[in-house]
């Protein structure tokens, strides 16, 4: 192999293994949006804004839509998220269908649930 072919390979190895000086963002759980993370999204006005910034995948559904619960009370569909002020939210949690069934009963959301805790 000629040296001119090795130079790009060596460069890629060095660049690929380079450190980012330890400046890693802490990983966040995929199914929880904490109060700290809510406060980081200062421009969010309501629960829908928070989720669309922090976990937009929660809003993308195939055929089953998550049900929204507020402090254990069923509110309805995703359209209800716009009615919950971001300043009152303590935590948002995405529940799988089985988790929602355990917490809220068997008809509690075949598409899972978004469980919102407010202050």
Residue-wise pLDDT for 66-97, tens only, equals 999 999 999 999 999 999 999 999 999 999 99
Alpha-carbon dihedral angle through residues 15, 16, 18, 22, given to the nearest 10 degrees: 140
Q: Which helix (H) or strand (E) holds 40?
A: helix 35-40
The pLDDT-based confidence of 10 (bands split at 50, 70, 90) is low
Q: What is the CATH number of the domain that holds 51?
A: 2.170.130.10
The pLDDT-based confidence of 115 (bands split at 50, 70, 90) is very high
Residue 18 lies in a domain: no
Statement: residue 57 has pLDDT above 60? yes
Instruction: Give the number of other Cβ atoms within 10 Å of residue 46's Cβ.
Output: 18
Q: Which residues contact 35 (CB under 8 A, 6 or more apart)?
A: 89, 90, 91
Residue 38 lies in a domain: yes
The structural domain count of the chain equals: 1
Residue 13 lies in a domain: no
pLDDT-above-90 percentage for the chain = 61
The pLDDT-based confidence of 110 (bands split at 50, 70, 90) is confident
Domain that includes residue 73, residue range: 32-118
Lowest mean pLDDT among 17-26, 28-37, 101-110: 17-26
Name the one residue in this structure whose structure tokens are 């929880």.
Answer: 32
């Amino acid at each position: 192999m000629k040296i001119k072919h090795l130079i790009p390979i060596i460069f890629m190895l060095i660049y690929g293994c380079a450190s980012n000086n330890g400046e890693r963002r802490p990983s966040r759980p995929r199914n929880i949006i904490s109060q700290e993370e809510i406060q980081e999204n200062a421009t969010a006005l309501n629960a829908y804004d928070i989720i669309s910034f922090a976990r937009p995948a929660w809003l993308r559904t195939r055929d089953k839509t998550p049900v929204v619960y507020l402090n254990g009370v069923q509110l309805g569909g995703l359209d209800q998220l716009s009615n919950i002020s971001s300043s009152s939210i303590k935590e948002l949690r995405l529940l799988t269908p089985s988790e929602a069934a355990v917490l809220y009963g068997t008809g509690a959301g075949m598409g899972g649930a978004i469980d919102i805790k407010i202050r």
